[in-house]
């Protein structure tokens, strides 16, 4: 096991009506002027945003608002948010929505305290401060409600989708009401499941040996998601299924599953180019790329893939490591298919003839190689994209 540091500072209020504590929590963190950032119409139509506004008004907490955060959130809205925050002397950022609204809010929180271009922090500059961020989560998926990371797409001829982050952007508190997920369409629920499972698997498939407690914690979250996802998709109003997915999504990405080990994140890298190019859902892209990545790398550590197959998917350990490992990968692919996710280019809506462009985009973002579990060259990346066709 490797040395590590861990602190999970986010305070959670979890359960029915959790969002109604928003004013109490903002007061606890001494928020004076709040910037509320949200996405499309669903938080408006559902009445959630209205409930939040009512609570802030009743508590005399001043606020300004900016909606419009889209899946694969873009730089232009971030610039707009930063300008508002600076002009209005905002001292606290509240994201209401899913991972896109939260990531956009985090970028605004960083940019609001910076004189230069916020994209500098996606170009390698370390974040030194940020306005405090809190969230009201409507989609269990990205884990951004408790993570130290954010992903923003810089628009342009060749869109750049990049991640950044450190402890300064970990939310101060997050209000998680699983009932807010009842209206999520089945496909969006499934994409969220793929995203949280991917966050776990990017940590699980590690070169670090001996971090058994992390292995077990990873498997716990995967097993939870595998059990709960079909229930939530079949019965969208099943509270416990929604609640288990919500907390699994949070724990998947708040650091709990990654202690004592190197993570990989190669598959996230491969996927980001897909969602940047086609604007597909990140979770759908991950469902397409993860099995392909696995098929490319599994022989590097057959024992770990056997462990994954037997512990997570209940594959019988026949002793034929290669066959058992491949059955585990197939089980993942079958599971994702069963909940309606794409697992290849055609199903995703990606094109074989774009692979050159995807590799070109990847090269701009990653340089000549990327990944930890297996260091991948651009040639390797091409082969993995081809495996996903």
Complex with a second copy: residue 3 or 30, whichever CB lies closer = 3
Q: Outline where 59-139 has alpha helix (H).
A: 75-87, 99-111
Q: Which stretch binds a second copy (CB under 8 A): 13-21, 154-162, 274-282, 375-383?
A: 13-21
Judge whether 22 and 174 are in contact, CB under 8 Å. Answer: no
The SS3 assignment for 341 reads: coil
How many residues belong to the site for a second copy (CB under 8 A)? 41
Residues 16-55 that bind a second copy (CB under 8 A): 16, 18
Q: Does 263 bind a second copy (CB under 8 A)?
A: no
Q: Does 248 bind a second copy (CB under 8 A)?
A: yes
Q: Which stretch binds a second copy (CB under 8 A): 45-53, 218-226, 338-346, 363-371?
A: 218-226
The least CB distance from residue 64 to a second copy, in Å, is 28
Q: Using the CB atoms, write b or e for 117-143: b if 16+ within 10 Å.
A: ebbebbeeeebeebbbbbbbbbbbbbb
Q: Which helix (H) or strand (E) holds 276?
A: helix 266-278
Which residues contact residue 245 at a Cβ distance below 8 angstroms, ignoring those fewer than 6 apart? 140, 178, 181, 189, 192, 193, 196, 224, 225, 228, 229, 232
Judge whether 256 and 147 are in contact, CB under 8 Å. Answer: no
Tokens representing 368? 């000549």
Q: Which stretch binds a second copy (CB under 8 A): 15-23, 95-103, 295-303, 331-339?
A: 15-23
- Pick from 152, 180, 196, 221: which binds a second copy (CB under 8 A)? 221
Judge whether 103 and 144 are in contact, CB under 8 Å. Answer: yes
- Pick from 53, 117, 120, 219: which binds a second copy (CB under 8 A)? 219
Q: Does 130 bind a second copy (CB under 8 A)?
A: no
Complex with a second copy: residue 223 or 331, whichever CB lies closer = 223
Q: Does 65 bind a second copy (CB under 8 A)?
A: no
Residues 154-213 that bind a second copy (CB under 8 A): 209-213
Residues that bind a second copy (CB under 8 A): 1-16, 18, 209-213, 216-217, 219-221, 223-224, 227-228, 239-240, 243-244, 247-248, 251, 256, 259-260
């Amino acid at each position: 096991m490797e040395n590590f540091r861990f602190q999970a500072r986010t305070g959670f209020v979890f359960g029915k009506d959790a969002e109604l504590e928003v004013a109490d929590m903002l007061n606890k963190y001494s928020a004076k002027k709040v910037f509320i950032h949200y996405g499309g119409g669903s938080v408006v139509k559902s009445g959630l945003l209205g409930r939040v506004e009512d609570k802030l008004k009743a508590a005399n907490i001043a606020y300004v608002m900016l909606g419009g955060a889209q899946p694969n959130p873009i730089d232009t809205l971030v610039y707009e948010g930063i300008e508002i925050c600076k002009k209005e002397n905002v001292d606290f950022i509240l994201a209401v929505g899913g991972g896109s609204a939260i990531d956009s809010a985090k970028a605004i929180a960083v940019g609001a305290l910076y004189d230069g271009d916020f994209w500098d922090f996606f170009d390698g500059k370390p974040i030194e401060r940020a306005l405090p961020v809190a969230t009201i989560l409507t989609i269990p998926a990205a884990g951004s409600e408790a993570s130290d990371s954010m992903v923003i797409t810089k628009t342009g001829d060749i869109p750049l989708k990049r991640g950044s982050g450190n402890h300064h952007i970990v939310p101060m508190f997050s209000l998680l009401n699983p009932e807010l997920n009842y209206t999520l369409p089945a496909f969006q629920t499934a994409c969220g499941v793929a995203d949280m499972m991917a966050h776990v698997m990017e940590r699980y498939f590690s070169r670090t040996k001996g971090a058994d407690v992390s292995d077990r914690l990873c498997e716990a979250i995967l097993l939870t998601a595998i059990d709960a996802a079909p229930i939530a998709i079949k019965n969208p109003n099943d509270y416990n299924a929604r609640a288990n997915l919500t907390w699994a999504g949070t724990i998947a990405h708040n650091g709990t599953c990654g202690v004592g080990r190197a993570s990989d994140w190669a598959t996230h890298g491969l996927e980001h180019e897909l969602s940047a190019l086609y604007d597909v859902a990140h979770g759908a892209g991950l469902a397409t790329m993860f099995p392909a990545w696995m098929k490319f790398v599994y022989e590097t550590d057959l024992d770990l893939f056997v462990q994954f197959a037997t512990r997570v998917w209940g594959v019988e350990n026949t002793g034929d490591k290669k066959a058992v490992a491949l059955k585990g990968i197939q089980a993942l692919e079958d599971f994702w298919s069963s909940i309606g996710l794409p697992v290849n280019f055609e199903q995703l809506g990606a094109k074989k003839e774009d692979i050159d462009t995807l590799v070109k985009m990847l090269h701009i973002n990653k340089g000549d190689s990327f990944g930890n579990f297996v260091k991948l060259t651009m040639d390797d990346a091409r082969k993995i994209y081809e495996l996903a066709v």
